[in-house]
Homo-oligomer: A and B are copies of this chain.
Amino acid sequence: MIIAVIGNSSCSPEEAKLAESVGELLAQRGATIICGGLGGVMEAACRGAKSRGGLTVGILPGQDSSRANPCVDIPVVTGIGEARNLAVVKSAQAVIAIGGSYGTLSEIAYALKGNISVIGLNTWSLSRNGREDDSIIRVRSAVEAVDKAISLAKRRKNYEIASLRSQ
């Protein structure tokens, strides 16, 4: 199971703590973490995962792996800049968003377009034409985020296998 953790490359100490807890819990539950591979929330989540023996994948925007944070096990060098945001979420069975700015918003949008669940911790809220869009599943703690992400990811995984079998 692969879960994406998305958020800013520079973040507050509170966000970093939250991301690190999310990383720890995901690793304990056996999930591989995928992220954008840079600093801030991404680095904190990877650090948490590594502290529990987890596996981490960083989908990097640039031309080489030198900018990957030191807790990325598998740096994927895309060379396609911010268009790599699509790959970060599409590779996951569920997405946990922590805080985040416009890059994170583009990832949330891509995930929702692809029917991939987004669990939000202090992140964006959306409304369209005055009506709230409640597609982002709001939670209040790292534990709740990881519980939701894993149960939704399992459901998606089963759905994908069923689709494949019916082809």
Number of copies: 4
Instruction: Tell me the A48-68 residues at the B interface (CB within 8 Å).
Output: 55, 57, 59, 63-66
Q: A113-B103, A122-B129 are in contact. Are A86 and B90 (CB under 8 A)?
A: no
A150 to chain B, nearest CB (A): 17
* Chain A to chain B contacts (Cβ below 8 Å), 24 pairs: A57-B57, A64-B160, A65-B160, A66-B163, A74-B74, A76-B76, A77-B87, A78-B91, A79-B90, A80-B81, A81-B81, A81-B86, A82-B113, A87-B87, A100-B128, A101-B113, A102-B110, A103-B109, A105-B108, A106-B106, A123-B128, A125-B126, A125-B128, A126-B126
